[in-house]
Structure 1
Amino acid sequence: MIRFGVIGTNWITDRFLQSVKDMPDFSLTAVYSRTSDRAREFAEKYQVHNTFTTIEEMAKSNQLDAVYIASPNSFHASQAITFLNHGKHVLCEKPLASNAAEVEKMIMAANGNHVILMEAMRTIYLPNFSCIKGNLHKIGKVRRYVASYCQYSSRYDMYKSGTVLNAFNPFFSNGSLMDLGVYCIYPMVVLFGEPNEVKATGVMLESGVDGEGSLLIKYAEMEAVIMHSKITDSKLPSEIQGEEGTMIIDHIATPKHVEIRYRDGRKEVISTKQEKDGMYYEARAFVDLIQKGKRESSINSHEHSSVTARILDAARREIGLIFPADREINTPSDN
């Protein structure tokens, strides 16, 4: 049985806990929130008795083996490093940190304390991502990867009315690239590795974050085109174009239907049925790593997280997106 604590009492934490409710070796034993009332309220919903309002106190506790971090992006590094330094395994929501420098510090802390650090990028553990990887050879030499994730944010109307919530606040290292663009970038890194060149454009909002943008990414023998947005919707699928056919993916973040259309006119559906909530698969993989005494996932590796962070940094430099976290060295805090 792996005893978990959770950082963050928002909808994504609720979804995570719902996804693992039938996992026999997962046990929620601790809840953190900045306020004791919110911590107790959330803990009571899941019949948990251990609540904390300071990160350090929770990290020192002997009531948990691992922690799931779903706090704002700008707090990921400091909170994760605190837990890693106290010998706790960390599953941290994407993006792993505000920038590549923070990611490297997190990896150093994990390696130095012989514990697991894993980015909670659920996409690459989904059954249909395995189908994408397993059938990629069928389309011949890949020449272009096209990924789109454009979803009008439920918080954008409030932003337009004058209320800047976390999703559009640079203090929290947020914006379209970090929130949605990462879903397009991480699978690309898993499939094709680190690119040679990153170009990016974006539409900056008055709050200081990007509302939408595009990336043009160059590999030795192929290119990638990425579109992301929190201020518009798109119904376009994603594609991987090869010399012998094109793989069409209905949604890059949560693929449900994937098919290949060959140059000779044939069509082949390669997707499979997904039996469980998408977050279950990443949680199952994380728990398996702990139980098997491993220190790192092969598919969700430290290197994949590092490369993704470097691409995000490069794209942000291109569009002039700077976070407060870029200007200072973060130290562990209770935020």
Structure 2
Amino acid sequence: MTQENGGPRWGVVGTGGIARAFMEGVRAVPSARVTAVASRTRDRAEEFGREWDVPRRHGGYAELAADPDVDVVYVATPHPWHHPNTLLMLDAGKHVLVEKPMAMNALQVSQMVAAARANDRFLMEAVWTRFLPASRLAQDLVADGAIGELCTVAADFGINVPYDPEHRLFNVDLGGGAFMDLGVYPLELASRYLGELTVVGATRQLSPDRMVDTQTSVLVHGENGVSAALTCASRNVLPNRAVLAGTDGWLEVPRFWAATDVVLHREGSAPERFHRPFRANGYEYEIEEVGRCLAAGERQSPEMTWAESLRLAGVTDQIRDVGSLVSGPSDVRSVPRG
């Protein structure tokens, strides 16, 4: 069932900052409504429900999985829990939008995809960047030859967070590390423009307890012959932009993971700035894509397919191996993409 307006009824698993960002996005999508929230404790679920006017509040994820008034679930828990939480929801017959990275490794992602297929349910990794108007514009400009033939890509994402071993960025038990949290954005951008990626090299700096990376730099080579230099950091600020350089010019995308602007540079011409603001906070566009797919009976988004999530997870495993990154207590194994 869906709401009277034809849109899906959402449930939210997790009550942290990313779940709150999702709620802001939902408010900008008239056809979507969050009808239930689940947390590990009922008190947190009650608090979140009061704050965001969510009527059904569950003190456990299994309760939400069994809720008949939920069609699709947004999984907003820490990285290591994406895999079990998603399997729980899929096996209960719910559609799922799961926060990125989809899981801790390619093996887990392959199991999640298999569960979606077996249960005939929709599944998508929440790479909200792909659906932003500015991101779509940048892709169109490159495809239309605005910078000539694409030659190289560079992207970085770095913030200075005070070191705290209990913070999610530095806590290995929460899937911490700059690459798993921030590096997914440069990697996703490279995959979008380069296709199949081969990891040429990776280096890292470690946290004081040497349990997670605080900076990782990666060089990848794409199937189209284009290379990309990617860097992420949790203990130092970086320029925080993407540059797509071609034979006739280049595109600069400030804050590319949350892009609202694209600047086109061409030799002999003044820079052209294109502004594409959000209606809300940017999450509304991936929420609309999920609603569109469900209304059409699609089980995966053509813009963020299962194959793409499997590819990104497989490359992440390669980078982890090449850069000797510490990734957490669970086994990390690569699997062939299906």
The TM-score, its normalising length taken from structure 2, stands at 0.90
| Higher mean C-alpha displacement, 210-219 vs 191-200 | 191-200
SS at match of 2:311: helix
Contact 2:43–2:59, Cα closer than 8 Å, also in 1:
no
Structure 1 position 219, deviation (Å): 2.4
Would you identify which runs of 4 or more consecutive aligned residues in structure 1 move more than 4 Å? none
The TM-score, its normalising length taken from structure 1, stands at 0.91
Residue of structure 2 equivalent to 1:23: 29
How far apart are the structure 2 equivalents of 1:83 and 1:120?
A: 16
Between the two proteins, the alignment pairs up a number of residues equal to: 322
How far apart are the structure 1 equivalents of 2:276 and 2:53?
A: 36
Structure 1 position 43, deviation (Å): 1.5
How far apart are the structure 2 equivalents of 1:327 and 1:196?
A: 19
What is the identity, as a one-letter code, of the residue corresponding to 2:247? E
Q: 2:330 aligns with which of 322, 325, 329?
A: 325
Residue of structure 1 equivalent to 2:204: 202
Contact 1:213–1:227, Cα closer than 8 Å, also in 2:
yes
What is the identity, as a one-letter code, of the residue corresponding to 2:331? D
CA 63–131 in structure 1, closer or farther in 2 if over 3 Å, else same: same
Structure 1 position 275, deviation (Å): 3.1
**What percent of counterpart residues are identical?**
29
Residue of structure 1 equivalent to 2:147: 139
Structure 1 position 259, deviation (Å): 1.7
What is the identity, as a one-letter code, of the residue corresponding to 2:330? A
SS at match of 2:257: coil
Structure 1 position 122, deviation (Å): 0.8
The correspondence of residues 57-136 of structure 1 with structure 2, limited to 5 A, is 57-136=63-142
Structure 1 position 142, deviation (Å): 1.4
Structure 1 position 323, deviation (Å): 1.9
SS at match of 2:310: helix
Residue of structure 2 equivalent to 1:152: 160
How far apart are the structure 1 equivalents of 2:64 and 2:210?
A: 33
What is the identity, as a one-letter code, of the residue corresponding to 1:117? L
Alignment RMSD: 1.7
Contact 2:169–2:177, Cα closer than 8 Å, also in 1:
yes
Contact 1:190–1:304, Cα closer than 8 Å, also in 2:
no
| Higher mean C-alpha displacement, 170-179 vs 76-85 | 170-179
SS at match of 1:286: helix
SS at match of 2:256: coil
| Higher mean C-alpha displacement, 65-74 vs 165-174 | 165-174
How far apart are the structure 2 equivalents of 1:41 and 1:235?
A: 37
Residue of structure 2 equivalent to 1:310: 314
Structure 1 position 327, deviation (Å): 5.6
Contact 2:93–2:119, Cα closer than 8 Å, also in 1:
yes
What is the identity, as a one-letter code, of the residue corresponding to 2:75? I
- In structure 2, runs of 5+ residues without a counterpart are 334-338
Contact 2:98–2:126, Cα closer than 8 Å, also in 1:
yes
SS at match of 1:45: helix
Task: Summarize deviations over 1:3-47 as a string: whole Å, max 9, x none.
Answer: 111111112111211221142221211111111111112112233
Instruction: Please say if 1:171 is aligned against 2:173.
Output: yes
Residue of structure 2 equivalent to 1:269: 273
Task: Summarize deviations over 1:176-205 as a string: whole Å, max 9, x none.
Answer: 001111011112212221113342111011
Q: 2:290 aligns with which of 257, 261, 286?
A: 286
How far apart are the structure 2 equivalents of 1:85 and 1:117?
A: 12
Contact 2:101–2:180, Cα closer than 8 Å, also in 1:
yes
